[in-house]
């Protein structure tokens, strides 16, 4: 998803994830777009300080419900790779947060 597509989806009330469903992209009360790792609350900006470059690859962002569906349980979740890491649709391996300076 492009930066514009991500913002449009969030503004339309859709849930956007980065890398796997543990990372949720949201807009805070100041109008900032952020990525939060829900299990521990760690948060970074959606973009670098310029506001132009995503903190992640476009292919790593997806709208909730667009992940693969497990045919046995009907649960949606990213596929694990051989090391057990989440893999987003399109086969990209989830990457860790990149810290900004």
- Tens digit of each residue's pLDDT (9 = 90 or more) over 21-66: 999 999 999 999 999 999 999 999 999 999 999 999 999 999 998 6
**91 half-sphere exposure, CB direction, 13 A CA radius:** 0
If one compares 9 and 67, the residue with the highest pLDDT of the two is: 9
pLDDT at 96 over 60: no
Confidence of residue 94 (pLDDT cuts 50, 70, 90): very low
pLDDT of amino acid 12 = 97
């Amino acid at each position: 998803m492009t930066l514009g597509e991500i913002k449009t989806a969030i503004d339309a009330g859709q849930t956007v994830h980065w890398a796997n469903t543990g990372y949720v992209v949201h807009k805070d009360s100041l109008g900032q777009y952020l990525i939060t790792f829900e299990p521990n609350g760690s948060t970074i900006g959606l973009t670098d300080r310029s506001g132009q470059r995503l903190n992640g690859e476009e292919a790593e962002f997806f709208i909730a419900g667009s992940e693969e569906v497990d045919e046995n349980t009907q649960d949606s979740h990213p596929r694990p790779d051989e090391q057990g890491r989440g893999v987003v649709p399109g086969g990209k391996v989830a990457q860790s947060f990149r810290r900004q300076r």
